[in-house]
Structure 1
Amino acid sequence: MAEFKTHLTVSSLCSSAAATFLLAACLATPDEVLLFFVMGVVGGLLPDIDSDSSLPVRLLFTFIATVISFLIMFNQGADNSAAELFLIWLGSFFVVKFLFFSMFTRITVHRGIIHSVPASFFFWFLTTLILYHFFSFSKHTVWMAGFFVFAGFIIHLLLDELVSLDLFGNGPKRSSGTAFKFANAKDLKSTLAVYGLAALLFVATPDYTPFVRTYFSADSFASLKVFPDGGWFTHLYRTYLSRWQTKPTGPLSQIDS
């Protein structure tokens, strides 16, 4: 299995590259690029959420508990005092961080059904629903954000599978075949549960038509330039040169400097 640093690095690089392509193709705003990047990194770490004692899992649950607590607090009435809002946030945080985490670690097994392809669809649809109903993003944005979670999740599974093959070592390890899987033969109940939950979440998700039309139409990437037509970074050079030439040179600029 790949290390946490490896998963973090690979998911960050892949998410950065994919989000940058969307920005260059005018298919995402800078705010959406940041959202997609974060979702891709989170997706790249999610498969190991069923590891009971690892530091990354504890950090991930702390992050999730913090976000959920803020969402609960934001849904409270404006007539609450600051102390009441803080207590609501604190109570929600402890419930998610400790009670839910304890229950989750008891019912899951490391490298079980959470570490599988159907789980990636479950988290894709769950992310889409949360962002749509709690943050009011557009339909195509929430679907793409969920897709970044899905893609990061799949990259994690593939990376673990490649490491288990040990191509430059002594051949496949015992863990080979346990990372990128579609079912857990030893736990059919959990397998059916994840498939069923993913199906229910998909039914509850908003219309995916805007997502498909925005990102998968024939003209979606028509304006994308992968490589520059002329010299590299000429636009960047001209931008800074024009700013330097138009910089004020009067007494006020001398005082500021």
Structure 2
Amino acid sequence: MANFRTHFGVASVGGLIASQAGWQASLYGLWQAAVIAGLVTFGGILPDIDADNSRAVRLIFQILALIAIVVAVLLLQHRVTPAQLFAACGATYLAVRYLASALFARFTVHRGLWHSLLAAALSGLATASASFTLLGQPARLAWLHGLALTLGFLIHLALDELYSVDLTGARLKRSFGTALKPFDWKAPGSSLMLLLTSVHLIAWLPPLAVLREVLTHGLGWGLGWGR
């Protein structure tokens, strides 16, 4: 299994390449290129959200808490007083950083459900939904945000599988196959809940026609296929 530094470094490079390609293809501006790079990098460490008491999980929940504060400010700034907004932001930070972190540590197993393609899909859909519905981003950009996070997530899973192959001994380690799996075979109930959550997000997603356009045209231009 790759360590935190490897996951972070490879995902960062992948994020820079992806954001540069999209920027050169005029899919977004320079500021959004930085956002895309950040999302790929964050996705590259996100599967370790189920790793108890690790550097990765502390960083993940710190970032999620800050994102939650930004969303809270955007949603509440015109509805409550400054004092109430400050209190709400403090409560949001504590709830995400400590309560949510404790719940994940209690109910998840490392390299379980969150190391799966289903979790990658859910994370990407949730990102696209939040970008489109909560932050009011254009549909195409929201889908690009979701795809960027999913890309980073898949980079993490692929690295874990690569590190499960012992090239010197020409053998597979016991951890092989525990990352790039469709879902957690050992927890069908949790996998079903994650699948239902993904389906539930459909109502908040940007139009699927825009996703098809991004996949067939936007990414093609970003990779140079349309030139």
Native 8 Å contact 2:27 2:218 kept in 1: no
Spell out, residue by residue over 1:191-223, the C-alpha distance to the aligned partner (whole angstroms, 9 max, x if none): 212222222223531203223324523996299
Output the CA distance in 2 between the equivalents of 1:191 and 1:46.
Answer: 17
Aligned to 2:192: 192
Aligned to 2:33: 33
Aligned to 1:97: 97
Output the CA distance in 2 between the equivalents of 1:113 and 1:153.
Answer: 13
Structure 1, gaps ≥5 residues long: 226-257
Aligned to 1:129: 129
1:147-186 map, 5 Å: 147-169=147-169, 171-186=171-186
Higher helix share: 2
Code of the aligned partner of 2:119: A
Spell out, residue by residue over 1:95-151, the C-alpha distance to the aligned partner (whole angstroms, 9 max, x if none): 121222212221111111111011000001000011112211100001011001111
Question: Deviation of residue 153 (structure 1)?
Answer: 0.7
Output the CA distance in 1 between the equivalents of 2:220 and 2:20.
Answer: 15
Distance 1:31 1:188, change over 3 A: same
Output the CA distance in 2 between the equivalents of 1:220 and 1:56.
Answer: 33
Q: Secondary structure at the match of 2:39?
A: helix
1:40-79 map, 5 Å: 40-78=40-78
Distance 1:50 1:216, change over 3 A: same
Aligned to 1:206: 206
Aligned to 1:241: none
Output the CA distance in 1 between the equivalents of 2:91 and 2:215.
Answer: 40
Q: Secondary structure at the match of 1:110?
A: coil
Question: Deviation of residue 67 (structure 1)?
Answer: 1.3
Native 8 Å contact 2:142 2:206 kept in 1: no
TM-score, length-normalised on structure 1?
A: 0.81
Code of the aligned partner of 1:108: T
Native 8 Å contact 2:24 2:222 kept in 1: no
Output the CA distance in 1 between the equivalents of 2:145 and 2:222.
Answer: 22
Output the CA distance in 1 between the equivalents of 2:193 and 2:91.
Answer: 29
After the TM superposition, which of the residue ranges 129-138 and 193-202 deviates more from structure 2? 193-202
Distance 1:222 1:145, change over 3 A: closer
Aligned length: 226
Code of the aligned partner of 2:127: T
Identity percentage of aligned residues: 30
Output the CA distance in 2 between the equivalents of 1:223 and 1:29.
Answer: 17
Spell out, residue by residue over 1:36-68, the C-alpha distance to the aligned partner (whole angstroms, 9 max, x if none): 111111111111101111011011101101211
Native 8 Å contact 1:27 1:215 kept in 2: no
Larger radius of gyration: 1
Native 8 Å contact 2:140 2:214 kept in 1: yes
Q: What's the RMSD between the two structures over aligned residues?
A: 2.4
Distance 1:79 1:141, change over 3 A: closer
Q: Secondary structure at the match of 1:216?
A: helix
Output the CA distance in 1 between the equivalents of 2:223 and 2:5.
Answer: 35
Structure 2, gaps ≥5 residues long: none
Distance 1:168 1:201, change over 3 A: farther
Native 8 Å contact 1:26 1:223 kept in 2: no
TM-score, length-normalised on structure 2?
A: 0.91
